[in-house]
Amino acid sequence: MKIGFIGLGQMGSAVARAVAKSQEGDFLLSNHNQDKAKALQADIGGEVVSNQAIAQSGDLIFLGVKPNILVPLLKNLTEKNPVKDETVWVSMAAGIQLDRLAEFVPQDRLIRMMPNTPLRLGAGMTTYTCYNPDLISLFEDLMAQSGEVKFLDEKAMNAATAIAGCGPAFAYQFIEALIDAGIQNGLTYGDSKLLASQTLLGAGLMVKCLDDHPAQLRHQVTSPGGSTIAGSVSLEKNKFRHAVIDAVNSALAQNQKLGED
- Binding residues, by number, are 6-11, 51
Q: Rounded distance, CA 145 to CA 23, Å?
A: 10
Burial of 82: CB neighbours in 10 Å, binned 0-12, 13-18, 19+: exposed
What amino acid is encoded at 83 in this protein? Answer: V
CA 28 to mean position of chain CA atoms: 21
The DSSP secondary-structure symbol of 27 reads E
Which ranges of the chain does DSSP label H, i.e. alpha helix? 10-22, 34-44, 51-57, 67-80, 98-101, 134-142, 157-160, 167-184, 189-209, 214-220, 227-237, 240-260
Q: Is the dihedral of CA 199, 200, 205, 207 positive or negative?
A: positive
Burial of 74: CB neighbours in 10 Å, binned 0-12, 13-18, 19+: buried
Q: Which residues are annotated as a binding site for NADP(+)?
A: 6-11
Q: Do 104 and 83 meet the contact criterion of CB atoms below 8 Å apart? A: no
Tell me which H or E stretch contains 29: strand 26-30
Q: Which residues are annotated as a binding site for NADPH?
A: 51
